[in-house]
Amino acid sequence: MVLGSGWNSVVNMMEERIEIGYEKLFGVSSTVPGHKGKLIVGKINNKPVTVMSGRFHMFEGFTALQATSFIRVFAKAGMKSLILTAACGALNTTYRIGDFVVLNDIITLLLSPDSPLVGPQFIDTSCVFDPCFRAKAVAVIKKNHIRYHEGSYIYYHGPNFETPADKRAMKILGADVCGMSTVPETLVARSLGVKVLGLAFVTNLAFVKHDHKEVLKEAEKGSKKMKILLRAIL
């Protein structure tokens, strides 16, 4: 599981956990506020779980290959399923701050030319998020009466937030939410045969002024629901 901005409270429900800093593991650490930069191994619901508390972004200076290298390591170690979480900005005007989004697709157009893929070049991306995984997430959300949507996520490099013109263009392309992660990781995981579930939490509305402190503040408000959702899915 990869925890995005504001999702770190999920770590508190892990039992028998062992934490290792990214710097000790990889020689580098995440520099983004809200990303602790730790690998945590433990249990949730008595099931073994490995959690990346924070991720690497390309706007931090990492290449796409470097930012996704941990997925290759985990896949080689036997990872079969991956939950990617993220904070996101809403492009769809029916979405509200505090809504969850079960991702059903990604838009990769803004990722080029730095591809995270190595090896086979023409992977099938007709269904990047596992349908059974998605259905389980939706069932849990409905059972707990959590407001949600199913939508598409478009990648934006950052580190600046999107301009109004960027947002209008991305909306025309069919994106419901946008963010600076998730897409490279999804592509790599799928290329390795790993089942992926993408969960995003709306922390800001695209067509109003916002900053990263606001993102973290809104994500913290949703932490209780995040825990309920992830515990039930696992």
Give pLDDT, residue 217.
78
5 belongs to an annotated ligand binding site? yes
- pTM beyond 0.85: the answer is yes
Q: What's the CATH number where 46 sits?
A: 3.40.50.1580
87 belongs to an annotated ligand binding site? yes
pLDDT digits (tens, 9 = 90+) for 200-215: 999 988 777 766 677 7
57 belongs to an annotated ligand binding site? yes
pLDDT digits (tens, 9 = 90+) for 121-135: 688 999 999 999 999
Domain count within the chain:
1
Higher-scoring residue by pLDDT: 209, 3:
3
212 belongs to an annotated ligand binding site? no
181 belongs to an annotated ligand binding site? yes
Give pLDDT, residue 84.
97
pLDDT digits (tens, 9 = 90+) for 59-79: 888 888 989 999 999 999 999
Region 4-18: mean pLDDT is 87
Helices 131-143, 223-233: crossing angle, 10 deg rounding? 130
Nearest-angstrom CA–CA distance, 210 and 222: 18
Q: Give the range of the structural domain holding residue 53, as residue numbers without chain letter.
A: 2-233
CA distances from 145 to 18, 95, 131, 138, 140 (A): 33, 16, 21, 10, 9
56 belongs to an annotated ligand binding site? yes
Reply yes or no on whether the pLDDT at 118 is more than 80. no
Quick one: how far is CA 15 from the chain centroid?
23
Reply yes or no on whether the pLDDT at 159 is more than 80. yes
